[in-house]
Amino acid sequence: MDTFKKLKQFYWPFKKYFFTSVVFLILVTAITLVYPIVLQKTIDEVFIQERYSLIPYIASAFLILMIVKAFATYFHQYLGELFGIRSVYTLRDALYEKLQVLSFKYYDNAKTGDLMSRLTADVEGFRFFLSVGFSELIRITLLIVLSLGVMFFYSVPLTIVTMAAMPFLGIVVYQFDKRVHPAFRGIRKSFGNLNTRVQENISGMTTVKSLSREDFEIGRFSSNNDNYRQHYLKTSDIWAKFFPLMEFIGNICAVALLAFGGYLVIQGRLNLGELVAFFSLVWYILGPLMNLGFVINLFSQSKASGERLIEILDAKEDVVEKNHAIDVPIKGHVTFNDVTLTYTENDDSALKDISFDAPPGKVVGLIGATGSGKTSITQLITRFYEPEKGDVLVDGLPAADYKLKSLRSHIGFVLQESFLFSTSIRENIAYGNPNLKDEQIIDAAKRAQAHDFIMEMPAGYDTMLGERGMGLSGGQKQRIAIARAICINPSILVLDDATSAVDMETEFKIQKALKEVMKGRTTFIIAHRISSLKHADEIVVLEEGEVVERGTHDSLIHNHGTYQRIYDIQYQDRDAIMGVANQ
Q: How far apart are the C-alpha atoms of 183 and 531, rounded to whole Å? A: 58
Beta carbons of 550 and 540 less than 8 angstroms apart = yes
Q: How far apart are the C-alpha atoms of 30 and 483, rounded to whole Å? A: 68
The closest of 117, 95, 106 to 224, measured between CA atoms, is 117
> How large is the average pLDDT for residues 49-72?
85
> How large is the average pLDDT for residues 541-564?
88
SS3 336: strand
Q: Which residues of 503-515 are buried (b: 16+ CB within 10 A; e: fewer)?
A: eeebbebbbebbe
| 67 pLDDT higher than 80 | yes
**Residue 332 region by backbone torsions, left for phi larger than 0, else alpha for psi between -120 and 50, else beta:** left
Q: How far apart are the C-alpha atoms of 416 and 353, rounded to whole Å? A: 25
For 480-506, the pLDDT digits (tens) are 888 888 888 889 998 887 666 566 776
For 5-43, the pLDDT digits (tens) are 888 899 999 999 999 999 999 999 888 888 888 887 888
Instruction: Give 577's pLDDT tier (boundaries 50, 70, 90).
Output: very low
Q: How far apart are the C-alpha atoms of 18 and 191, rounded to whole Å? A: 30
| 169 pLDDT higher than 80 | no
521 DSSP assignment: S
Q: How far apart are the C-alpha atoms of 579 and 583, rounded to whole Å? A: 6
Q: How far apart are the C-alpha atoms of 50 and 374, rounded to whole Å? A: 97
The closest of 150, 152, 159 to 40, measured between CA atoms, is 150
For CA atoms 208, 213, 218, 222, the dihedral sign is negative
Residues near 370 by beta carbon (within 8 Å), at least 6 away in sequence:
none
Report how far apart, in Å, the C-alpha atoms of 145 and of each of 135, 148, 196, 285 are. 15, 5, 47, 8
Beta carbons of 4 and 120 less than 8 angstroms apart = no
> How large is the average pLDDT for residues 111-139?
84
For 259-318, the pLDDT digits (tens) are 888 888 888 887 888 888 887 888 787 777 767 767 777 787 788 888 889 988 988 888
Amino acid at 91: L
Q: How far apart are the C-alpha atoms of 271 and 10, rounded to whole Å? A: 52
Q: How far apart are the C-alpha atoms of 128 and 432, rounded to whole Å? A: 38
pLDDT number for residue 235: 81
Q: Which residue has the higher pLDDT, 577 or 213?
A: 213
pLDDT number for residue 576: 47
> What's the helix, strand, coil split of the chain in %, to 5?
65, 10, 20
Which of 186-190, 288-292, 376-380, 462-466 tops mean pLDDT?
A: 376-380
Ordered DSSP codes for 143-191 = HHHHHHHHHHHH-HHHHHHHGGGHHHHHHHHHHHHHHHHHHHHHHHHHH
* Domains, in order of start, for the chain: 2-313 (1.20.1560.10), 328-410+492-503+523-583 (3.40.50.300), 419-489 (3.40.50.300)
> How large is the average pLDDT for residues 425-449?
88
pLDDT number for residue 533: 83
For 503-530, the pLDDT digits (tens) are 677 667 667 667 767 778 899 998 877 8
45, HSE (Cβ side, Cα atoms, 13 Å): 11
How much of the chain, in percent, has pLDDT values that exceed 90?
16
What size, in residues, is the chain? 583
Beta carbons of 510 and 459 less than 8 angstroms apart = no
pLDDT number for residue 14: 92
Instruction: Give 334's pLDDT tier (boundaries 50, 70, 90).
Output: very high
Residues near 16 by beta carbon (within 8 Å), at least 6 away in sequence:
none
pLDDT number for residue 477: 83
Q: How far apart are the C-alpha atoms of 567 and 530, rounded to whole Å? A: 7
pLDDT number for residue 206: 59
SS3 121: helix
Q: How far apart are the C-alpha atoms of 92 and 124, rounded to whole Å? A: 10
Rounded (10°) angle between helices 272-313 and 134-154: 160
The closest of 133, 405, 134, 192 to 311, measured between CA atoms, is 192
| 579 pLDDT higher than 70 | no
CB atoms within 10 A of CB 78: 13
How much of the chain, in percent, has pLDDT values that exceed 70?
92
| 434 pLDDT higher than 80 | yes
Report how far apart, in Å, the C-alpha atoms of 537 and of each of 140, 340, 525, 551 are. 76, 24, 11, 8
Q: Which residue has the higher pLDDT, 29 or 117?
A: 29
Amino acid at 166: M
| 138 pLDDT higher than 80 | yes
The closest of 497, 494, 332, 342 to 407, measured between CA atoms, is 332
Instruction: Give 231's pLDDT tier (boundaries 50, 70, 90).
Output: confident
pLDDT number for residue 100: 83
Q: Which residue has the higher pLDDT, 175 or 76?
A: 76
| 130 pLDDT higher than 50 | yes
State the chain's mean pLDDT as an integer: 83
The closest of 81, 68, 82 to 28, measured between CA atoms, is 68
pTM: 0.73
Report how far apart, in Å, the C-alpha atoms of 147 and of each of 114, 142, 284, 431 are. 45, 8, 7, 63
Beta carbons of 74 and 27 less than 8 angstroms apart = no
pLDDT number for residue 582: 44
